Chain A
Amino acid sequence: MKESMTWSAGYPTEIEYTYGYYRELYPTYLRLACLSAGIATAKADPLKYLELGFGQGVSINIHAAGNEGDFGEPTSIQARLRTRGSLPKRQAQARRCSTRRLPNLPRAPTCRTSTSSGCTAFGPGFRRRTAESSSTSFAASLRSAASSM
C-alpha cells in the first residue's frame, strides 16, 4: 500500500470494498419487517428499488435477479462509471464502490456518511434499469474479474 490513501469523492479507492450481502434489504424481507411492526405496505407495481451505498453491487444484483421491478443506483454514479469506460473492467468495478458521493441527491447526512446503508425507494431520481440488464452486467464484470486474475 502506498504511503498516503487515495480518495475519490470522499471514499478511499485503493483498497477493494467488501463483498457483503445484507438480507435486510430485500423487498420481501422489508415487507415482513414492516408487517411485524404493524405497518401496511402497498403493493408497488412495478417495484422501484434504489440502493445507495451499493458496495460491490452484490445485493442489488441478487435482488434484481430474484424480483420483478426497476432496480437502480444513483444517476451520478452511473455517469461516473461511464466516464471511466477506458479502465479495465475490474478496476471500474472496484471504483464503482468508491465513488458513492451523491451530489445530485439532497444532502442527507445519512446517505453521504454511511458506507453500508441501503435504501429502497419508490419514486423518481434514479436511472431506470431493468432487472435483466442488471443481472447481465454483473455477470460480465465478474467474468472479466476472474479472467484478469
Chain B
Amino acid sequence: MLAGMGSGDAVAPSDEASCRSCRRGRGRGGQVDGAVAFAQQVIDSGALYFRANPAVGERLKALSGLRRNYLVHEYFTEDWRPITFSDMSRVLEDAKLDFVGSANLLDRVEAVNLSEAGQKLLSGISHPILRQSVRDYLVNQQFRRDIFAKGSRRLSALERAEAFRQQSFVLLTAPSDIPMKVAGSLGEATLDELIYRPLIESFANEGFAPKTLGQVAAQHPKLVSAPFGNLIQAALVLTGAGHLHPAQVPSRKAQARSPALNRCLCERARGSDAFTFLASPVTGGGIPVNRQQQLFPLAAHNGKRTPSEQATFVWDTLEAQGHRVIKEGKVLETPDENLAELSREAEEFAEERAPILKALGIAL
C-alpha cells in the first residue's frame, strides 16, 4: 500500500503561457521583482493577449502582492512547468498509482464549489480522471492537492461507516470561535446548527478530550437520531475548515519527543514569527498557533505562572527587539498599551486556548 500526495498544478492554458513567457523573458537571469514588473509592462503596453485573457493580468496583480520568498520558490525554479491533472495521473499510473481523491476535504462539499448545472454535468461523467479534469474547469482550479494510492481497495458503504465510527477526532478551535459557515470556490454555505452545534459541543466536552465519531453519535441526545451519514459529512467539513482534526492514540515515545521540538519552536518564536505551528502527538500533525501562543507557554515553562507574569515576559522579549503588538491592524506604541493588550491575550490564552493545546498533548 502506498499513499502519496502529488501537487499537480491545474492551470488554464492562458495562465500557463503567460507565466512561462514571463519567466523566459527575465526570470532566470533577472530578479523576481524585475520579472513581475516586466510582465506588467507588457500588459500595460496594451498587449492583445492580455486583453483577450484579462484574468491573467489579474492573477499577475495578485501574485505581485505575495511574499518574494514564496514566489521565487513556487514559480522561479528552473523546471517550473504546470501540468494538467490528466497528465499527472498518467505519470503516476506508470508507477501503478491510482487517484484516490482530493486531500482538501472541503472539495467534497459540492454545494460550495459547484453550481447545480455543474453538479449535474459531473454526475454524468463516470471516468474519474475526466471527471476531475472537467471539475478543474468548473472551479477554475489553480493548484491541486491530491492523493494517489497503490493497490487501493475500495471499502463497502458499511465498512466505511464502521471505520468512521471508530475514527477519533479532536477539536482545535473554541466552540464560540467556529463560524456556522464554510467557504468554497463558488461561495459560502451555512452549516446546519442542529447537527454542527451538538457535534462541536460533544467534542468540547470533558476538556476537549479526543472522542470517536461513534461515541459522540451515541452519547449526545440531539445526535442519536441524526443519520450517521450526516455526522460523517459534518466531521469532514469541520476538519476541512481546520476546526477538527483526526486523532490517534499517541505513543509514549511521541509524547516524549514532541515537547523537545515544541520547546525549540517556542524558543524560535522569541525572535521571529516564521514558525506558526506546534507538534501534537495526539493528531500526529502540526497545530496552527500565533507567536503569542508560542511565547505564553514558553513563559510558563520559564516559571511564569500567572497570565500577568507571562504578559510581562512576552513584552520584555518584544521590547528588547523593538517589536510592538498589532491590534486590529494598529501598532500599539506605548509600553502600557502593549502590556495591557498582552495581559488580555494571556488571560484569553489561559482560559480558551491552553485547555485545547493540553488536549492536543502540546506541552513544553
Which residues of A pack against B, CB within 8 Å? 1, 3-5, 7, 10-12, 15-19, 21-42, 44, 55, 58-59, 61-68, 97, 106, 108-123, 131-132, 135-136, 138-139, 142-143, 145-146, 149
Contact = CB atoms under 8 A, between A and B. Distances in A.
B274 A19 contact: yes
A30 B5 CA distance: 9
Contacts of A132: 253, 257
10 contacts: A24-B103, A26-B285, A29-B103, A29-B245, A32-B236, A34-B147, A36-B101, A63-B284, A110-B88, A113-B79
B354 to A, nearest CB: 19
Instruction: Kindly name the residue among B32, B103, B145, B246 whose own CB sees the greatest number of chain A CB atoms within 10 A.
Output: B103
Contacts of A62: 261, 277, 279, 285-286
B185 interface: no
A142 B264 contact: yes
Given A4-B29, A19-B274, A41-B1, 13 more contacts: A12-B77, A18-B69, A26-B284, A30-B5, A35-B155, A38-B160, A39-B100, A39-B152, A61-B261, A65-B258, A109-B81, A143-B267, A149-B271
B164 interface: yes
B154 interface: yes
A138 B74 CA distance: 24
Contact of B108 (A36, A58, A149): A36
A42 B29 CA distance: 48
Contacts of A59: 286
Interface stretch (B6-14, B189-197, B305-313): B6-14
Contacts of B268: 142, 145-146
Contacts of B2: 121-123
B91 A66 contact: no
B267 A39 contact: no
Instruction: Kindly name the residue among A15, A110, A117, A145 whose own CB sees the greatest number of chain B CB atoms within 10 A.
Output: A110
B186 interface: no
Nearest to A17: B73
Given A11-B73, A68-B251, A143-B264, A112 B239 contact: no
Given A65-B257, A109-B91, A142-B268, A21 B286 contact: yes
A10 B78 contact: yes
A106 B284 CA distance: 29
Interface of B: 1-9, 28-32, 67-70, 72-74, 76-81, 83, 87-88, 91-92, 95, 100-105, 108, 145, 147, 149, 152-155, 157, 159-160, 163-164, 167, 236, 239, 242, 245-248, 250-251, 253-254, 257-258, 260-261, 263-265, 267-268, 270-271, 274-277, 279-281, 283-286, 288
A65 B260 contact: yes
A24 B104 contact: yes
Contacts of B149: 34, 39, 41
Instruction: Kindly name the residue among B2, B83, B104 whose own CB sees the greatest number of chain A CB atoms within 10 A.
Output: B2
B257 to A, nearest CB: 5
Contacts of A36: 101, 105, 108, 236
Contacts of A64: 257
A139 B275 CA distance: 13
Contacts of A138: 261, 264
A121 B92 CA distance: 13
Contacts of B81: 109, 113
* Closest A-B pairs by Cβ, 6 of them: A26-B285, A37-B101, A10-B78, A117-B7, A24-B103, A42-B1
